[in-house]
A and B are shown apart, each in its own frame.
Chain A
Amino acid sequence: MVKLLGAMLQGSLVSLEIFFLTLVFALPLALPVALGRMSASRLLRVPVNLYILVMRGTPLILQILFVYFAPYYLFEASYDRFTAVIVAFTINYAAYFAEIYRGGIQSIAKGQYEAAKVLGFTRADTFFRIVLPQVVKRILPASANEVITLVKDTALAQTIGVAELFRVAQNASARQFSTTPIFVAGVFYFVMNWAVSELFLRAERKLEYYS
């Protein structure tokens, strides 16, 4: 039992690594994607639209397989599985976050931009100092959904053989002819997401000082 828990903690570390690295890359990447989606230029808008359509329209599991195997079939080049997982998760989650950002940005009243313009703020100052802080407050609940889904989606990394939590649990389960390890894994995911929910609640509370 102690050995099992040790292995599962190891697996959790891999899951957490996927989780944090995906957030580190996807959260910032989503911003230019959202702006591209709203761009006045068709040249920018159309490809960004297509990207979001594909990312949201196909299974993440397939995207992981594609990202890992496509370079192999095309150039006979193989690379690290873990890197492939991070790339696939990042481009997938950036698409979802971008749409959340877009919703937030478009919900900011036109009057905020007009007031900023009349006061002489540059476009960058208007966006980063006036619009974005208000967007953050509005998108917190929707982002919490997405981040919680990400915790659970890390289980898909096993598709290309990355030994994350669920894979470890399944292996143990097969060895022991018992479903217990899988339920233990369930508890692990639950605890992680409980922490995520708590963090988001705290962030929301911190921004409650204005409406």
Chain B
Amino acid sequence: MNQQLAFALLTLLAAAAFCVLTWRRLSLVRFGKPENRLDHFGRRAWDMLLYAFGQKRVLARPFGVNHFVIFWSFLILLIANSEFIVSGLLPDISLRLLPDYLRGPLLLMFDVVSLLALIAIVLAVVRRLLFKLDTKYVKRRSVEAFLILAFIGLLMVAYFGIHGSEIARGQEPLKGWMPISSLVAQFSGDGAYESWFWWLHAVVLCSFLVFLPISKHMHIMTAIPNSFFARLEKPNTQPREEFAAGNTYGAGKVSDFTWKDLLDSFSCTECGRCQEACPATATNKALNPRQVIHSVKMNLMANAAALESGQEPQVPLIGPEGEATNSIEAIWACTTCGACMESCPVLIEHMPKIIKMRRNLVEMKSEFPDELLNLFENMEQRSNPWGIAPTERTKWHTTMEVKDYVAGETEYLFYIGCAGTFDARQKAVTVAIATVLNIAGVSWGVLGKEEKCCGDSARRLGNEFLFDQMARENVELFTARKVTKVIAACPHCLNTLKNDYRQYGLELEVVHHSELLARLLTEGKIKPTRQVTALGQVLYHDSCYLGRHNGIYDEPRRAIAAVTGAKPVEAARNRENAFCCGAGGGRMWMEEGVGERINVARVGEAIEALGTDPSTVCVACPYCLTMFEDGLKDRDVATIRVMDVAEVVAESLRPVL
């Protein structure tokens, strides 16, 4: 009776502490701005099943199996632990009330998963000891991490201790269902230690309950809802802003984020996958996506008292480097490649938060790297990043006849894009695309001098005001010219036309030239006159805005294979896991003075895959083209050339002499 009373007191205290602590943290989410994440219930429920319960992303890495085991053991053992608590309070109520044919299999399951969990815990400890993945504020080898593992491990040990003792004392008629506990029983003597194990289990369980809401292990409560509330689309567009007097823009303080942004921060268990995927982190920049999410959580908690008393947050969200703060350097280091989000097992949205902070810097404070002043002025005044006169937009086709787009007569608008119009190297790609389209008999036309910059860089750099202006102009132009089908040579244009302009009511059918070329090759509309062999091995590098942001992986590869007769070579990191060239998110227009250059790092991966024989890196984006050519020069490699998919296809159409 005394034991019962003591246990009741303990559980009551633990439960109360758990409720108070959980509420104190989770209720802070209410300080976020509203955002609708309740639409498409079915899809959300499916995502939750797939990512939370199915652990899809967790299993994408080999060691993920270990987590899968722990997660499912936890779920299954919830039954055993519930029984433990209920029968601890009311000894008459336990699983023993069930018929043997039900309880037997249950006991077998508990026995097996407890062992599996114990093994997984040991492996997790070993992994933490062997592989370090620490940053200044977030550590894999933290006391917290080991404590959590110890709690789970001790629960398993106690479980076997209790049941081993029970069997040893002959109190378990169904011991035949419990192979591991039976084994333990052989070492349990007369089972005299049962109450010790029982109390160990009770104390650890209650401690764990209290520790949960104050540790990163809180993710076991938040990750499942976070998967439900996750964004349903790829992160290829950013929310619009409403420009009106009195409004503020972007996130300058933690309460400028939405509730979902804040929930994200409580869902992170600091596994570090985003950090391993991030090109900025890999090249020693100030940015670490894991720290960005950590900073949101720490900032929210540091400002909790102020927010609760209705005051402005005191600890700055953007400021000098610190655990609860994001440095200016970190915010500008992001290439918006999306690798962090692609890798996150619990679907946290890192990149949009960085863009929100950029918006605040640009739109509220006019604080941005010096290089961007010219870019913004050029985009605003001359509608291209270089500031070249719009009258020069037709100069790329001095060597060929090009028709204007006329609705009803022309099928596709070929949206050349600023790089294809003005960049000397990319102009050759534009000509290659135009030539191949003509050979294939595609009906296409251009906007000529009327074409304007799509505004991608402005949006990704947080200059939403400028983007909004450019988007409106383009939407008006496209509507007036009755454009419906577009060929884009630049994945950034493609993404902006296809995904960003949709927010302005413009639905376009946008196809990347590599998609179109692949289709024309399959349909036999492009008939190669020769197999392209002179380029050596061809490696295909995925553009982030074509691949991760728009899911176009196979078409460019198919086009290359069709004309070279061989599947393209792959870099070690490819497709969903591809490593950025370093130019996305407006980084194209900024200096990269810290650490290794991202393009040089990526070129290193290409060299590793291609070896020293003459070979080719095939790209599908003007930024990638520039970054690879520069990176190869930087590494002084002359055996690799860089070509666009269209140029590789054009090679196959050269007349045989």
Answer yes or no: are A and B bound together in one complex. Answer: no
Interface residues of A (CB under 8 A from B): none
B: which residues have CB within 8 A of A? Answer: none
